[in-house]
A and B are shown apart, each in its own frame.
Chain A
Amino acid sequence: MGRKLLLEHADVPGIETFDVYRKHGGYRSVEKALKTMSPEEVVEEVKTATLKGRGGAGFPAGMKWSFIAKPEGVPRYLLCNADESEPGTFKDRYLMQYIPHLLIEGMIVSSYALGANQAYIYIRGEYMFVLRIVEKAIAEAYEKGFLGKNILGSGFDLDLSIAPGGGAYICGEETALIESLEGKRGNPRMKPPFPAVQGLWQCPTVVNNVETLATVVPIINMTAAEYTKIGTEQSKGTKLISAGGNVERGGVYEIELGLSVEEFIYGDEWCRGIKNGKKMKALVPGGSSVPILPAHLITTTANGDTRLMSYESLSDGGFASGSMLGSGGFIVFDEDQCIVRNTWNFARFYAHESCGQCSPCREGTGWMEKVLHRIETGRGNMRDIDLLADINKKIEGNTICPLGDAAAWPVAAAIRHFREEFEWHVTNPEEAVKRNYGMLKGVTA
């Protein structure tokens, strides 16, 4: 049984209300931080906890905080990135839907640490029903004196509100999120300048993921020293994992980092194995943009070590035989799934979500989608497979924001590990079309 730091009370009836949340130890970290710690001490604590950003990139949150510029008389902003849109990831929604006060609590402490008096939650527009839950919780927090002027008599003021997106994956990129929050198209900005220097309305801004901000709460409550006792050497604490695809029991699970992948997928406490008694064929461990791994590289690394749910173990072997923990979105494929079809599906996603601002991503993602669609529908050539690999190379690293890489990696990994399946589609076009189980002709109303 792993320890739960975030979801411990998620099942308590009424936990979405202030009173029940408070009764279960809620808002203690606000009291502790505002009454007994300086903002610098809070930053130091988060740094010591080596909390890695939970949105996907894994950048140390404490370090990000310490970069924030502090020019005299210029407001600073804390933005919560709740634009969770990475396919396979739905942990932030779970957290906000069931324990919204945990996020608010984390944001109060984090804003205090950053010296921000205004914070915003940017939530994807499709989560409007979650927005309403969080908005209600925010109103309660204001009512109880945890938001607004002079919180708990500390002299610290904080205004918090929540804003919806409108259906754009790219707004999960921090500078696109800022643009969107300014009421514009979600075109990512060029960096530098980084948001920590010029972010929202050109003011110093920190953007953190929902889970990252929520994790600040247990870190402050239990101290970084205790927090870092959980996890592995390079991955401390717990992590929310979203499990989807062909697992017996999909859902959001909080795990101690370092749990073995095998136990997570087959253990009774977690996913309970593959649906319908089938075998696992492949796994994407960190949301759709990280490399897919074939079965033999999932439970053990190329060196034969047990593969663990940690930043370092999942990336063991680099892209050649490893992947990334990313956002913790586990997508499991059973033995009957078609890798080509899935790769095309992901490519279509990225082409659909490219903002279209820079040419390699705009043209490259669309091109890959078209080529993959041809292969999938039995109209591919052998040279298309190498073409895809080459388009990939020309996108990767050459775009304004990481969406280009995110679009390139899954295609590259699929070809790396499942090339023969692509070739089979080319040499057996008719079979390939028939195998499109997704378009079952037998289904009628």
Chain B
Amino acid sequence: MVKVTIDGIEIEVEEGTTILNAARQVGGDIVPPAMCYYSKLEGSGGKCRTCLVEVAAGSERDPRPMPKLMVSCSTQVQHGMVVKNLTSDRVKEARAGVTEFLLANHPLDCPVCDQAGECHLQDLGFENGKEGTRFEEDKRTFAPRDIGDKIKLHMNRCILCYRCVYTANQLTNKRVHGVLNRGDHAEISTYIEKALDNEFIGNVIDVCPVGALTDKTFRFKSRVWFLKPMNAHRDCPTCQGIATVWMFGNEIQRVTGRKDAYGEIETHNGKTAWLCNTCRFESKDVAQWTIEGPRVINRHSVISQGHYVLKNPLEDKNTVKNLK
């Protein structure tokens, strides 16, 4: 075990843990935002640069500060490391910069975006963005495209986190989409018209931090904050069948994987509960599911606005802290 201090909070973590994951063990506000890192996808991280932190002391053995800001998702903690996240003005400035970069070419079409309300870029902008924009140039644009009959690609919204590429690589045996071109023309594409049709490809929607990849079976059906998320499961021969179903009255409007506080699919029975396409796209009948009960949503989330779900406060660290 190694000891690391993050924003003044000392914690012991296993050797080899990254700064980000150490911070997640503490939880709360000191966790740096991560737009591209996804703990369940090998190789992810390092690209968006939102999780940059200042390392004020490298380790007990070598307490010199690291000159550059470090990506917390990929930098391993050392014994005696001192990390500054919210307590560092440099970090705040750099993060505001990254936020501005990510929004520079973003269409800001939240009013018509299905991801609105559960979008990590919205959250990032809310927490780290500045009023107004200094970007006066023409934004780069791409036409929206169907990649398969169930998935919509809005490349304009994409922040090139590569998560969907890793998902296809790691969950399916044949990847048909990837990142094409380069620089600020880089895009997610299949190059020629091709459908993403693997049984697990729907997970690209769940891992997408923004509204670039959305569920066509839910398109414009409702705003997420009008829906009640319920934990549900079903017997599925393909996947674990552990999901969140999003209900309007007694109707299931969409099905997603069960995501934790960082938007990552939860682990159940020792495995990440990736959802298969049948569960996600073709199981919209309540009778197909065993509804377990309301999904606990952080009460500060916009999703909790339309309905008030009673929850067990002991289950939610944030709530406990907020009650104090």
Q: Is the CB–CB distance between B94 and A359 below 8 Å?
A: no
Q: Is the CB–CB distance between A366 and B183 below 8 Å?
A: yes
| Residues of B with C-beta under 8 A to A185 | 179, 182
Complex alpha-carbon distance, A168 and B181, angstroms? 11
Q: Residues of B within 8 Å of A, CB-based: how many?
A: 34
| Residues of B with C-beta under 8 A to A362 | 101, 160, 183-184, 186
Among A15-23, A78-86, A247-255, A346-354, the one that faces the other chain is A346-354
Chain A residue nearest to B35 (CB atoms) is: A359
With A360-B97, A363-B102, A370-B137 known to touch, is A398 a contact of B183 (CB < 8 Å)?
no
Q: Is the CB–CB distance between A360 and B98 below 8 Å?
A: yes
Chain A residue nearest to B161 (CB atoms) is: A359
Indicate the member of A359, A364, A365 with the most B CB atoms within 10 Å.
A359
Complex alpha-carbon distance, A365 and B104, angstroms? 12
Complex alpha-carbon distance, A254 and B98, angstroms? 43
| Residues of A with C-beta under 8 A to B46 | 190, 358, 400
Partner of B94, one of A353, A370, A394: A394
Complex alpha-carbon distance, A399 and B183, angstroms? 13
Partner of B159, one of A359, A366, A367, A400: A359
Complex alpha-carbon distance, A355 and B52, angstroms? 20
Q: Is the CB–CB distance between A351 and B184 below 8 Å?
A: yes
Q: Is the CB–CB distance between A363 and B49 below 8 Å?
A: no
Among B67-75, B147-155, B252-260, B295-303, the one that faces the other chain is B67-75
Q: Which of A371-401 contact B (CB under 8 A)?
A: 371, 374, 387, 393-394, 397-400
Complex alpha-carbon distance, A398 and B68, angstroms? 7
| Residues of A with C-beta under 8 A to B50 | 359
CB-defined interface of B164-185 with A at 8 Å, one 1/0 digit per residue? 0000000000000001011111
Is B204's CB within 8 Å of the partner chain A?
Answer: no
With A190-B46, A190-B74, A354-B183 known to touch, is A359 a contact of B137 (CB < 8 Å)?
no
| Residues of A with C-beta under 8 A to B47 | 357-359, 400
Is A356's CB within 8 Å of the partner chain B?
Answer: yes
Q: Is the CB–CB distance between A398 and B97 below 8 Å?
A: yes
| Residues of A with C-beta under 8 A to B104 | 363, 367
* Nearest CB in chain A: distance from B70 CB, A: 10
With A358-B47, A358-B49 known to touch, is A398 a contact of B134 (CB < 8 Å)?
no
* Nearest CB in chain B: distance from A403 CB, A: 10
Complex alpha-carbon distance, A51 and B179, angstroms? 39
Partner of B134, one of A357, A363, A365, A387: A387
| Residues of A with C-beta under 8 A to B140 | 366
Complex alpha-carbon distance, A398 and B46, angstroms? 11
How many A-B Cβ pairs are below 8 Å? 90
| Residues of B with C-beta under 8 A to A397 | 68-69
Q: Is the CB–CB distance between A360 and B49 below 8 Å?
A: yes
Is B100's CB within 8 Å of the partner chain A?
Answer: yes
Q: Is the CB–CB distance between A363 and B184 below 8 Å?
A: yes
| Residues of A with C-beta under 8 A to B49 | 358-360, 398-399
| Residues of B with C-beta under 8 A to A367 | 101, 104, 135, 137
Chain B residue nearest to A367 (CB atoms) is: B104
Q: Is the CB–CB distance between B137 and A371 below 8 Å?
A: yes
Chain A residue nearest to B105 (CB atoms) is: A363
Q: Is the CB–CB distance between A355 and B182 below 8 Å?
A: yes
Chain A residue nearest to B46 (CB atoms) is: A190
| Residues of B with C-beta under 8 A to A364 | 101
CB-defined interface of A131-166 with B at 8 Å, one 1/0 digit per residue? 000000000000000000000000000000000000
Q: Is the CB–CB distance between B182 and A394 below 8 Å?
A: no
Q: Is the CB–CB distance between A357 and B98 below 8 Å?
A: no
With A190-B46, A355-B182, A365-B184 known to touch, is A398 a contact of B105 (CB < 8 Å)?
no
Is B48's CB within 8 Å of the partner chain A?
Answer: yes
Q: Is the CB–CB distance between A360 and B101 below 8 Å?
A: yes
Q: Is the CB–CB distance between B100 and A394 below 8 Å?
A: yes
* Nearest CB in chain B: distance from A270 CB, A: 36
* Nearest CB in chain B: distance from A444 CB, A: 31
Indicate the member of B48, B93, B134, B181 with the most A CB atoms within 10 Å.
B134
With A190-B71, A363-B104, A394-B101 known to touch, is A355 a contact of B94 (CB < 8 Å)?
no
* Nearest CB in chain A: distance from B142 CB, A: 14
* Nearest CB in chain B: distance from A155 CB, A: 39
Q: Is the CB–CB distance between A352 and B179 below 8 Å?
A: no
Chain A residue nearest to B94 (CB atoms) is: A398
| Residues of B with C-beta under 8 A to A394 | 93-94, 97-98, 100-101
Complex alpha-carbon distance, A352 and B186, angstroms? 11
| Residues of A with C-beta under 8 A to B186 | 355-357, 362
Complex alpha-carbon distance, A97 and B97, angstroms? 44
* Nearest CB in chain A: distance from B68 CB, A: 5
* Nearest CB in chain A: distance from B138 CB, A: 8
Q: Which of A184-229 contact B (CB under 8 A)?
A: 185, 190
| Residues of B with C-beta under 8 A to A363 | 101-102, 104-105, 184
Q: Is the CB–CB distance between B184 and A356 below 8 Å?
A: yes
| Residues of A with C-beta under 8 A to B134 | 387
| Residues of A with C-beta under 8 A to B68 | 397-398
Complex alpha-carbon distance, A359 and B186, angstroms? 11
Chain B residue nearest to A399 (CB atoms) is: B49
* Nearest CB in chain B: distance from A409 CB, A: 15
Q: Is the CB–CB distance between A359 and B183 below 8 Å?
A: no
Complex alpha-carbon distance, A190 and B46, angstroms? 7
Q: Is the CB–CB distance between B184 and A398 below 8 Å?
A: no
Question: Would you mind naming 12 contact pairs between A and B with Cβ atoms under 8 Å apart?
Answer: A354-B183, A356-B183, A357-B160, A358-B46, A358-B47, A359-B49, A365-B183, A366-B183, A370-B137, A397-B69, A398-B69, A399-B49
Would you list the 5 A-B pairs with minimal beta carbon distance, nearest first?
A394-B97, A356-B186, A366-B184, A363-B101, A354-B183
8 other A-B residue contacts (CB within 8 Å) besides A358-B48, A359-B49: A185-B182, A190-B71, A351-B183, A355-B183, A359-B50, A359-B98, A362-B186, A397-B69
